[in-house]
Amino acid sequence: MSSGKVVKVAAVQAAPVSFDLQKSLEKLTKLAAEAAKSGADLIVFPEAFLSAYPWRYAFDATIGAREARGREWYRKYYDSAVAIPSPEVETVAETARLHNVYLAVGIIEKEGGTLYCTALLFGRDGSILLKHRKLIPTAAERLVWGRGAGDGLGVVQTDIGKIGTLICWENYMPAARMALYQQGVEIYLAPTADDLPTWTASMQHIAKEGRCYVVTVNAMTKVSDFPADYPPFTPEHPDRRPDGEQWEADDIVNHGGSFVAGPLGGRLTEPVWDKESIVYAELPMSAVTESRLDFDPVGSYSRPDIFTLTVNTKPGTSVNFVE
């Protein structure tokens, strides 16, 4: 890659049609076409875009007890998840091929009876360049998502730069970040469901720490993006808005905040709140090299005589039954 290259990225702040995989795919293909028409080289969708981040619902599970309704909704969640390979994955691959773009999307992946929060990066030819499963699901996510393994902690060389990804709060894992830094990440993708003000500061810190571009993308989700009978937002459910009132269709559940940070930690775009939008930014790749004049986390500022990081890149352990 030439250091004089300028890469255009598009962070798609949009909500899926939750629990409806086909309609979510239709939305993805439409928004990807719009971003590609605007000249994007790399298009990034939020965490769990295919096809739901299950906001405010723990599937009726408590310590020591599970309810029948929660199992039914888990089955619905599983049915709207994505197998690899599958016709749904091929739809995304064809979208990347059709528009000759790199396309990153968060999916809920199903394998066997387990779900994983996964980030996929597709190449211009539609091939899967990177599959990363979230290493540690956060809080109640642990009930419905399995744990990822080190084989997804990769950075891929492309004609637009070296691309890597971590999902949501695993960006707070210093060793996971360092694993990407060690591989020379230049365009760091951070799909998330975190819309707290502190997330913005964290992304700017990571950009400055890693001397890389950070593209963070979140959904802007309303109650109306979920099925009408989705338990947390129905009148009989004990959950209420922070003000104690019942949820309404236009109430915002996730406020977004997608933006792009540069390798010195500054914002190339301002965070977008409370609306669906495609955030565009142009990344002069020469700025990555320039930023490392005075700090390089795995170069001038590393001390390999003191610190080492070892990453187990083998796939997750499986159980083999031997007669």
Q: Catalogue the active-site residues.
A: 47, 134, 168
CA–CA separation, 212 and 186 (whole Å) = 5
> Rounded CA gap, 202 and 199, in Å?
5
Q: Answer for the pair 279, 259: CB distance below 8 angstroms, yes or no.
A: yes
Q: Using alpha carbons, list the distances in angstroms from residue 276 to 83, 190, 286.
A: 27, 18, 31
- The token pair that represents 153 in the structure block: 């902690």
The C-alpha angle 21, 242, 273, rounded to 5 degrees, equals 55
Q: Which residues of 110-125 are buried (b: 16+ CB within 10 A; e: fewer)?
A: beeeebbbbbbbbbbe
Q: Which two tokens stand for residue 83?
A: 């197998």
